[in-house]
Structure 1
Amino acid sequence: MRTDLVPTIEFASVRLEIRREGDAASRSVERDVEDADDFLAGTRVAELQLDEPGAYSLTAQLLAPDGRRLAVRRAVVDVDADVAVTLLLTRSCIGVVCPSGDPLATECVGGRCVRPRCTDVSPDACGAGECTSDAECVPAQACAVGVCDGVGACVFGEQTGVCADEEWCHPDLGCMGAGPICAAGYGDCDGSDLNGCETPLDTDVDCGRCGAACAPANGTGECQGGDCVLLACDAGTNDCDGIASNGCETTGDCTCDAAMCTFMCSVACTAHCPAGSSCTLVCTPGQACSMTADMNAQVSLRCGGTNSSSFCGAPTCRYQCDVGCNCS
């Protein structure tokens, strides 16, 4: 079996079930994983003696330390002699629902739906993969390294020497401590293994991460979906740079310059829009820009409290401010 999920941390045991196609009876094997197991390269889970040749269904499950089924994969293999089959269960398949499109593609490999006969002994059954070389498997974090499996799926392991000795590499999240892996929007802020990920990370006390208060300088903020959003500035101050993290950094009115008066939707979206908000500006030359309420509020802050108007000078939405100067 091969997987880029991390043994002893993300999964604690492996369960394998095998049955001959068409038969009701099945055999199963379960074993705990060990620190020495190298599941990224491939680890032998079971060696079975079958009574007769034919098509066999293999179902592999990875079980989390608390007994939850973390991943599952079924494969069909034709057996007429001794054969070694490596079942690949990839992290990218977590949350993927199959089939999607092809009704026979009921299994997932490398984040895409494939037919059950897709294995290392029948790679042609896998179709076009996501990679043909390791160079195409680019990890999201510096601590990870990508490898292209023989069926065209990217798997990600740990890059030696990046994480501290007591840490491990999550290819999507980076170096992790020994605590629990938390669902999006929650954190293990008290460090206790007894209550798991106990803290929601969408409050003004813990906004986006543990202990990150949403309290912008010289203004009022609110944590929205894990992002600290600046709602208003105190009297006599303004948010002229559009960066919520440093609050209302300017005393008095903003200086009206090119950077102040014109900025692209992508900049505003990255800097200001709370998670889950729509940041698309519908820009038709000669007409006003269509903006969400969140973006209107941020434009008003950037204009020093009053947003006079907006108009479209393709391809950029421009905002005309009314604070002692007229931007155009």
Structure 2
Amino acid sequence: MHRVALAVTDGMLHYELSVALEVFGSDLSHVVDPWYDFALCGPAPVRVDRFRLEPDHGLEGLARADTVLVPGWADTDREPPADLVEAVRAAHAAGARVASLCTGAFVLGAAGLLDGRRATTHWAHTGELARRYPAATVDPDVLYVDNGDVLTSAGKAAAMDLCLHLVRLDHGSADANKIARRLVVPPHRDGGQAQFIATPVPEPGGGHPLGELFPWVLQRLDQPLTVEDLARRAGLSSRHLARHFKHLTGTTPLQWLHTQRIRRAQELLETTDATVDAVAGAAGMGTATTLRRHFQRTVGVPPDTYRRTFRP
């Protein structure tokens, strides 16, 4: 089982801590099997706001994990605890994938893990992160950054996005979507989306102009939809449609539609034996050649390689 360790110490933000506990600390083996082997690692009983946590292991337990999660750090005006920084550095040196949620990036920065890498944190703290760790390239405009073995997220809801991204990397899109449905959150928001997303994607029937459009599109991904088709369905001009999309998703209608087609192709490659031609048709990509080109560019590997990863 993949071992996930959550680093805990006094002064951490309870929301980001709770997100990590909800996703990785819950027993979800009835949804995805095998699930993660999870442990809390901290120096002693710790205080998180008004809550008291009893770690399962000391901070040295981080070095035995496959993935280490570092929640948000409340007091960014001072350096994080030296024992936490050293334990995170040692875990990464031992081969762990290390991910920070929100201002947990300051712990990674202090450990030297952001040097020469792109990183992000809550938009209100990106300036300070860049000032304190100038060897890092801090991007204030994204939800999360994936460097492979070092990942960082923006604040609050972006912590959930990064956690689900990790599940997607480990178990595939289909299983990540199952977890997202259980948590009643959007199944996927790309890391490159802007942090300033004012509202979540609206639920059907909520009275928003796009509330009925999203499910309508997802049921018709096999069809050659255009931005004009989406605007007509929503009863908006293409210009107003683009404005609503930017406000809700941080991207354009065309890019959002392209992302949904790629996600549908991923699910079909993971869960069916359909040919790449058939997957291309069902995802609205037309031909296997077109799917391969866009899939390689977006996911980083060809469809056949991706399928072998999840359907050996």
Give 1 or 2: higher strand fraction. Answer: 1
Give 1 or 2: higher helix fraction. Answer: 2
**Looking at CA atoms only, which structure, 1 or 2, has the larger radius of gyration?**
1
Q: Do they superpose with TM above 0.5? A: no
TM-score for both structures, normalised by structure 1? 0.30
